[in-house]
Amino acid sequence: MLTVGQVATLQIALTVGASSQSVVVTAEAPAVESTESTIQSVVEEKVVSELPLNGRNPAALMFTAAGVTDATINPVGTNANSTVAEGGSVLSDESAPTTNGIRPGGTYFSLDGAGNVDPFSVIGGPFPNPDATQEFSVVTGSYGARYVSAPGGAVNIVTKSGTNQIHGSAFEFVRNGFFNAQNYFATVPDTLKRNQFGLAAGGPLLKDKLFAFGSYRQTIIRAQTLINSYVGIVTPTENMQQGQFKSKSTGNIVQLPMSTVATNLMKYIPPPNYAIGGNLATTTLRFPTISTTRNGWRRSITI
């Protein structure tokens, strides 16, 4: 059985036999690769489908190969224009691996033989979801000239294809704090709500000749963003609760008009603590946020 990017050579020797004889040749590819020096790791379908993946992104399995690391987890100190900076990926399911110390732009990505590189950030394009990924290989060294502009390595992805029978699946993965046991030591509740759902299907267009396969996935995330905000400065020279604010341009105290309703309301709001050294008390505000990610139909036609 061949894997993606593998070159297998079988040495078969046949002898001349009579017409009444049958020759059965059984051979397997040798464990030691003698035809090329490429260093690669293959992530098979069983690994993709059975290993737990946070966010169900098979690209996380690239980092199981020796010499491959995730540059986005340590963006501090990098060039602001570098693709390894936090948020450098245009899409949430793009990948920015660092192979053997080469920056992410040095890793070539291919999807079913075609280039899969985001030309804007020069990183890996969207990775198929686990239900659409057959297998992929991570090439990390001693490869030929077939991988253009790849001083670091290459990632070759192969998607699933249809068969003579119609097969399909539907899925939904839910993360919700309502289903979790309460953490006694947690200071804030788990507000993350994530729903990942979709389907995959494949079948014949022309029996034994033409097949099709496609998948769709959508991710909806609902969470609360925690930010720190000043609740109001009250000092002998500056009193925000009475409409007194310090001008950033002149440094002078500016008195702003306040309505009667606001003035009466401020009587019931206690001033914040003001520690020695100018450290202001802050309050934590929670703002609900919703983000949605869609992976459109990935079509694969096999002849």
Residue 253 tokens read as: 């105290």
Burial class (CB in 10 A: 0-12, 13-18, 19+), 250: exposed
Name the most confidently modeled range: 1-5, 245-249, 287-291: 245-249
Q: Dmax of the chain from CA atoms?
A: 112
pTM of the model: 0.63
Asked if the model's pLDDT at residue 282 lies above 50, the reply is no
- pLDDT per position as a tens digit, 17-59: 666 667 777 766 666 667 777 888 999 999 998 888 888 889 8
3-state class (DSSP) for residue 76: coil
Q: Domain coordinates of the chain in residue numbers?
A: 39-159, 167-227+288-302, 232-280
Asked if the model's pLDDT at residue 158 lies above 90, the reply is yes
Taking residues 294-298, what's their average pLDDT? 52
Pairing of strands 123-124, 117-118: antiparallel
List the CATH code of the domain at 39-159: 2.170.130.10
- pLDDT per position as a tens digit, 78-122: 444 444 544 444 556 677 888 888 887 888 999 998 888 888 878
Confidence (pLDDT) at 136:
94
Name the most confidently modeled range: 3-12, 188-197, 239-248: 188-197
In Å, how far are 90, 117, 118, 191 from 126, measured between CA atoms?
Answer: 10, 9, 8, 27
Q: How open is the CA angle 249-250-256, to the nearest 5 degrees?
A: 90
